[in-house]
């Protein structure tokens, strides 16, 4: 079982990585996160997200006369979606339909995590201090590590529960 899981994970990971870069999904993802953040950021942080030189250019946040460049590499953050989907594909007992639904639901949630992280970016990065540095590290871990693994665990929990025998056996009281 472990060998099959690893083989399915690695195979799907390799295929998804080729497709990821082949269709330039990272650039599309970046544009979608930034467009959504542009709408929400003024409400969340008061800062306005702007492009310094057209849609593909550098991104800055503005608040009055203050300007804060956004240094997050969204294409790199978006890569966490690849191992997430690979984990879904490798999880036995999901079936094609369930895997697809979990990938879509997880993709939307993953996207929203990144929108939230980018929206609060100016609050964390403007006038840094120890607390803000800690929050910055935490949000980075959340966006890149915890989100893909946490979403996989939550979305596949019904299958994982029986795998790990976390529920009482049927017929025993």
What does the H/E/C string look like for 75-102?
HHHHCCHHHHHHHHHHCCCCHHHHHHHH
Instruction: Specify the DSSP element, H or E, that contains 15.
Output: helix 2-22
Q: Do residues 159 and 99 lie in contact, with contact meaning Cβ atoms separated by under 8 Å?
A: no
Does 168 fall in a domain? no
Does 49 fall in a domain? yes
In this structure, what are the phi and psi dihedrals at residue 59, rounded to the nearest 5 degrees? -115, 135
pLDDT, tens digit, 9 for 90 and up, residues 18-51: 988 888 888 889 899 999 999 999 999 999 999 8
Which two structure tokens, joined as six digits, stand for 103?
A: 């990938």
Does 171 fall in a domain? no
Does 16 fall in a domain? yes
Q: Is the pLDDT of residue 1 over 90?
A: no
Does 124 fall in a domain? yes
Which two structure tokens, joined as six digits, stand for 97?
A: 């339909």
Does 170 fall in a domain? no
Looking at the structure of the chain, the number of domains it has is: 1
pLDDT, tens digit, 9 for 90 and up, residues 109-165: 999 999 999 999 999 888 888 988 888 888 888 888 888 889 999 999 888 777 766
pLDDT of residue 168: 59
Q: Do residues 124 and 135 lie in contact, with contact meaning Cβ atoms separated by under 8 Å?
A: yes
Domain of 159, in residue numbers: 2-163
pLDDT, tens digit, 9 for 90 and up, residues 82-115: 999 999 999 988 889 999 999 999 999 999 999 9
In whole angstroms, give the CA distance from residue 51 to residue 38.
Answer: 10
Does 173 fall in a domain? no
């Amino acid at each position: 079982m472990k060998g099959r899981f690893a083989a399915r994970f690695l195979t799907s990971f390799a295929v998804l990585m080729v497709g990821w870069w082949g269709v330039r999904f990272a650039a599309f993802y970046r544009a979608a996160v930034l467009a959504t953040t542009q709408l929400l950021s003024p409400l969340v942080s008061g800062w306005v997200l702007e492009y310094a030189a057209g849609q593909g250019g550098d991104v800055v946040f503005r608040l009055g006369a203050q300007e804060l460049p956004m240094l997050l590499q969204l294409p790199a953050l978006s890569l966490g979606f690849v191992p997430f989907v690979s984990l879904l594909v490798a999880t036995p007992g999901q079936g094609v339909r369930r895997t697809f639904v979990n990938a879509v639901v997880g993709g939307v949630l993953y996207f929203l995590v990144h929108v939230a992280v980018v929206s609060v970016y100016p609050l964390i990065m403007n006038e840094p201090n120890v607390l803000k540095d800690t929050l910055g590290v935490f949000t980075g871990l959340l966006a890149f590590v915890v989100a893909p693994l946490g979403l996989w665990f939550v979305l596949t929990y019904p299958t994982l529960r029986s795998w790990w025998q976390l529920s009482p056996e049927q017929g025993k009281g």
